[in-house]
Amino acid sequence: MPSDHDVLIIGSGASGGMVAHTLTRKGVKCLMLDAGPAVDFERHKTLKAVYDLPYRGFGRPGRFPHVTQASEFDANLWADEKQNPYTYDPNDPYYWVRIRLIGGKTLRWGRASWRLSNYEFKCKDHDGFGDNWPLEYKDLAQYYDQVELMFRVSGRKEGLPQLPDGVFLEDDSTDSPANQRFIAAARRMNVPTTKQRRATGTLASSVNLLLPDALATGNLKIVPNSVVRAITADRNTGRANGQRRAPSLAPAS
C-alpha cells in the first residue's frame, strides 16, 4: 500500500510518543500504528462495582499469570496472555507486560523520574559486572533537561553522584513522620536518601504530553487497532521497508 509518510512508528507509548513528538515538529510526516484503541476517558473514568464483575475483582484464573499489577477492574487494558502467549528460558523468566491502548504503558507508569548515572552506564568499570554502555551520562544530560521540563518533574537537588540532579520543580514539602524516621535511620548507617522525583499531574503520559503536540503539526496520522506481526526488509539492502499487520480485531462501528 503506497504511503506519503516519511517514517513509520510502531507503538504509541514512551518511545513511539517521543519519536512522533520530536520528528513531527521538524516537519517529518509520520504514520503511527498501535495495537489498541484510543482511551475513552469519559466511559472509563469510573470502575464497575465489584458485584458486577464475574470473578468479584479477582479476575479469571490464569488470564494474566505474569502481569502482577492486573486486576479484573482493569483487565481490558492488558494483552491477554492466553490469546498472546510468549516463551522464555524457564531458568530466566521474563514478564512481558503489554497494554493495548493508545499511550501504551505510559498510561500506568508510576511517574518515577530518576536520572541514570555513570554507575549504570559504566557499570563494568564500577563493579566489574555486565558491560559498559556505548555512551555516558554527559551524552544524555541535555535530553534529560528537556524531558524533565516537559513532564514537570519535581524533586530536590542534593548533589548525589548516583542520582544526578535535574531541572526540577523544587519539592519543598515536609517529610512525613514515617519518612523522617526512615531518613534518620538511614543516616546513622551512612545510607543516602532523597525525596522522590516524579512527573507531576494526575496523568503524565504519551496521550496528554506527547501526542497532542505531534497531531497539532498535521504531520502525524495514528492508526489504532493495528497489530504489527512482522517488519519487512528489502532483499537487496537488508533494510526495513514496511510491515505486515494481523487482521483487525476492532469492533464494528
Tens of pLDDT, residues 41-59: 888 778 888 999 999 888 8
Residue with cell 564500577: 126
Could you say which residues of the chain have pLDDT below 50?
A: 251-253
Amino acid at residue number 77: L
Q: Regarding beta strands 228-233 and 240-245, do their DSSP bridges make them parallel or antiparallel, or are they unpaired?
A: antiparallel
Distance CA 7, CA 234 (A): 16
Burial of 116 (0-12, 13-18, 19+ CB in 10 A): middle
Q: pLDDT at position 251, please?
A: 46
pLDDT at 252: 41
